[in-house]
Chain A
Amino acid sequence: MKLSTYNFLTSMAIKGVKVGYPLKLTINKKEVVETEFNATFVERLLPKLDWSAIYSAAQVVELTDDIPAVQPENIAENEQLMQKLHHLLFEIDVLDGQLECPETGRVFPITDGIPNMLLNEDEV
C-alpha cells in the first residue's frame, strides 16, 4: 500500500463511527520503490489530499524532520519539500502492517501490500 492510498482510507462505514479518519497506521515491513519525480503531479494532487493524514504517515515512517505538521504556504515553490512528499506518497510501499480505526480500535490488516478493509456483516 502506497501512502497516497492511505490518505483516502477511512473506517467510517463501521456502525457508530463518526469520522474514522485518519486511520492509525502501523508498519511491520515496507519497501522503497524509486519512481520518477514529477513536481506538477505532486502539486496538483496536494489539494486533494488531507494534510493531517500526510503528517501521520510521515510520523510513522519518521520523516517528520522533513514534513511539517501544518501545510506550509506556497508549498509548490519548495522543491525539496515536494521531493520529500513524492517520496512519502509514492515511493514507500507498506508490505505488512495494519490500519486501526481511531474510534473503535478495529484493526484492518495489511498483508502482501494489500489492506483488507472488508467488514463483517454485523459491523455495518
Chain B
Amino acid sequence: MRLNLTAVSSPSPIHCQLEKMIATHVSKPKKVDKKKRRCLAIIKADYNVTESETPTIFLAILNAGLCNGLTEETLLAKATAHGKVSQVLMLASKSYCFLKCASIADAESIFLAMHNVSTIGQHGAVCYLSYVTGIPQLEAVENDWNKPLPKGLILLTDFITEEEESALLKAIGNDSRSNEGNMKNRRVKHFGYEFVYGSNNVDSTKPLECRIPTACDFLWPRFRQAAAENDLQGLDWTQPDQLTVNEYEPGHGIPPHVDTHSAFLDPILSLSLESDVVMEFRRGSECTPLLLLRRSLLVMSGEARFDWMHGIRPRHLDWLPTATVSLTMEPRRKRTSLTFRRLRRGPCHCQFPTLCDTHQSTAPKLLMDTLAKQAVSLEQQNVHDVYNKIANHFSDTRHTPWPKVSDFLHSFDPQSIVLDVGCGNGKYLCCNSQLLAIGCDRSQGLLGVCNSRQQSVFRCDCLQLPIRTASMDGCISIAVIHHLASSERRLTALREMARILRPGGRALVYVWAKEQRRDNNKSSYLRQNKAVNKERTTEQAQRQHQAAQLEHKINPPHVSLPVHTNRTEFQQQDVFVPWKTKDAEHTTFLRYYHVFEEQELERLIADVPEVFLIKSYYDQGNHCVIFERAVS
C-alpha cells in the first residue's frame, strides 16, 4: 500500500487543542463498556458484524463515521500513524466505520493507540474501537470496477512518452497568451476558443488569439493512427480546434457533466498528464469508475460522449481495486488534463436526447398547437387545481414584496385605485396604504388568505376581469400570465388590463424569464441552488436524478411537457415546474409555466393598441414591462 501522508489533510489547530483538552478526560471503563455494547448492537443489526474477543485485522470505529463528521482523511491520518491500513470502509449516513489492517500486529497497535484516546468523534469526542469478525461486504463498491465500460469509451494507455509529456507541459505552462481562469475546484486554460461556463458553450465567431500550441502537432497523426487501430474511423478525426487544459490539485475535481452536444463534435479526446485519477461515468443510477492512467488518452465517443456524464470527485484519495479484489487507496497528486475537441458550429443530430441541448431546445415547438387546444384543461389541472391545493404552503413562502414592484406601487398619487390581477396571498395589497388596492385571483384558497387579512378581493379569471372599463389608476400582475398556455390567451389577459385602466393609468407586468442569468449573473432563483453553485453536482445530474425520481411519483398529466428541475436553467419555454409539499408524503404537484424569451412580453404589448410601453426591464429572472393607457 502506498500512502503519502503529506497529501492527507491534517487536523485543524483547534481540533488539536480540543484533543489535548479532552484526551485527559477519557471515559471510565464502565461507561466505555456500556457505549461499546450499544454501538455493537447497532452494527450487528445493520450488517450482522459482531465483536471478536481476540484481536483480528478488522477494527470497527464504533462511534464515529460519515454521518457525524468523520472523514476518511482524518481517520487515516490518525490510524496510519500507528499501523498499516489496507482498507477503510466509510458508510454513507452511518455513525461508525471500519478499518482493515495489514496484519493483526498493525490492528493491535492502532487499537491501543486510538481506543478511548483518539478524539476523532463528533465535536472532539473520544472514539471507541472494537475488533470485529469481518467488515461488511459492499459488493456494489467492488463490482463497479468489474462493470463493462460505457459504449464508445476507450482508454489508450502509454499514448505518449514521458519526454513528450514534459514537452507538452512546458509548452502549455509557457504559453502566457492563453485564456486562463480559476474554477471553484480546478484551474482552466483555453486555446483556440474559449468555453464559456455561463452558457456552457463556445462562441464560434470569436476565436482566441492563442491557437492550440504547435507542440501538440505530433498528436494529430497519432490520433488518426489510434482511430484506425481501434476501428473508430467513422468519427471526426480532423485536427482539433479547441483545447481545454485543466489543472487539478489533490482534492480538486469536476462535477459530473456532459460536454455540450451542440458545442463539440464526436469524439472528445482527453490526455492525462502528471498523475493518475479515477473518473466516474454516470447515466441515471449507473456509475462506472475508470482509472485514467498518466500519459493515457481517453476517447469518449458515441454513447459515452452523448449519453453519459463524466466527472472527478473532489477528493484527496482514490480507491482502486487491487489484484486481490479488495480496494486500496492512492493519494492524489497534481494532475493536468488536455481535452481536445472540434467545434460543431451547428445543431446536434445525435440519437441521445436526454442530455442533448439541441433536442431540448427544439422539441417543444411542436407542442404549441396542442397547448393552444388544451389550454383550458391544462390551466385547470396544472395551475388552478394546484394553487388551490398548495395555497397555504405557497402563501407561507411568499411574504416579501419585490422592491421594484413596491416602488411602482409607491409611484401613484395617494388615493389611487389599483387592481392586483392574480394577487395570490395579497402581499402587494398592503404595500402602500395610501392606495385603494383591490385584488383578484383564481384560487379560492389564496383569496381566503387575503380575506383573513381584511383585504378587498374577489374571484375571477384574468381573461375576463369583471371590472368597469377605464376605472383603474393602476394595475399590477406579478407572475401570472406565464401560467396561460397560449400566446393568444396571454395577449387577452394584457388586453383586459389595458381595458380597465383609465387614460393615463399605468400597469406593471412580471413574467418568469427563460433566461435566468443576465451579464453572467445568476438570478436569485439559480443562486439558491447551493449544491450546483458549490460544484458538488451539476444541473445535468440534478435533471437526471429528478427524472428518475418522478417516474413513479406523479400521475402523468394529460399534456406531455418536460418537467423542469427547480433552481436550474430552463431548457424549454413550456414546462411543468414541480412543487413539493412539506407534508409527510412529500407530494409533488406540477405547475404549468410558459417562461418568456427576451422581448416576447414587449412584442405582446405592441399588439395591445390602447397602450404604449413606458419601460421594460429584467429583474431577478423575470421580464417586466410598465405600460400606460393612451389618452385618446
- The verdict on A8 contacting B448 (CB below 8 Å), with A1-B458, A44-B415, A115-B458 known, is no
Interface pair A117/B458, CB less than 8 Å apart: yes
Which size class do A's interface residues fall under? 20 to 34
Interface pair A124/B458, CB less than 8 Å apart: no
Whether, in the assembled complex, B473 has its beta carbon less than 8 Å from a beta carbon of chain A, the answer is: yes
Q: Which residues of B contact A117 (CB under 8 A)?
A: 440, 458-460, 466
Interface pair B468/A10, CB less than 8 Å apart: yes
Q: Chain B residue with minimal CB distance to A38?
A: B415
Q: Which residues of A contact B465 (CB under 8 A)?
A: 13
Complex formed: what's the CA distance from A13 to B444 in Å? 20
Within residues 89 to 124 of chain A, which ones have a CB less than 8 A from any CB in chain B? 108, 112-119, 121, 124
| A residues neighboring B (CB under 8 Å) | 1-2, 4-5, 8-13, 21, 33, 40-41, 44-45, 48, 50, 108, 112-119, 121, 124
Complex formed: what's the CA distance from A117 to B463 in Å? 12
Within residues 405 to 440 of chain B, which ones have a CB less than 8 A from any CB in chain A? 414-415, 417, 436, 438, 440
Whether, in the assembled complex, B99 has its beta carbon less than 8 Å from a beta carbon of chain A, the answer is: no
Interface pair A114/B448, CB less than 8 Å apart: yes
Interface pair B460/A118, CB less than 8 Å apart: yes
Q: Chain B residue with minimal CB distance to A23?
A: B466
Give the number of chain B interface residues (Cβ < 8 Å).
30
Complex formed: what's the CA distance from A40 to B442 in Å? 33
Q: B493-513 interface mask toward A, CB cutoff 8 Å, 1 = contact, 0 = none? A: 000000000100000000000
| B residues neighboring A (CB under 8 Å) | 376, 414-415, 417, 436, 438, 440, 442, 444, 447-448, 451, 454, 456-461, 463-469, 471-473, 502
Q: Chain A residue with minimal CB distance to B438?
A: A5
Interface pair A112/B467, CB less than 8 Å apart: no
Known A114-B451, A116-B459; further 20 A-B contacts with Cβ < 8 A: A1-B456, A5-B456, A8-B472, A12-B469, A13-B464, A13-B465, A13-B466, A44-B414, A48-B471, A50-B468, A113-B451, A114-B448, A115-B458, A116-B444, A117-B466, A118-B460, A118-B461, A119-B461, A119-B464, A121-B376
Complex A-B: 24 CB contacts under 8 Å: A2-B456, A4-B456, A8-B438, A8-B471, A11-B466, A12-B468, A13-B464, A13-B465, A13-B466, A45-B436, A112-B448, A114-B448, A114-B457, A114-B458, A114-B459, A115-B458, A116-B444, A116-B459, A117-B458, A117-B460, A118-B460, A118-B461, A121-B376, A124-B464
B456 CB → nearest A CB, Å: 5
Q: Chain B residue with minimal CB distance to A41?
A: B415
Q: Which residues of B contact A12 (CB under 8 A)?
A: 466, 468-469
Complex formed: what's the CA distance from A5 to B454 in Å? 13
Residue of B417, B447, B458, B467 with most chain A CB atoms under a 10 A cut-off: B458
Interface pair A33/B454, CB less than 8 Å apart: yes
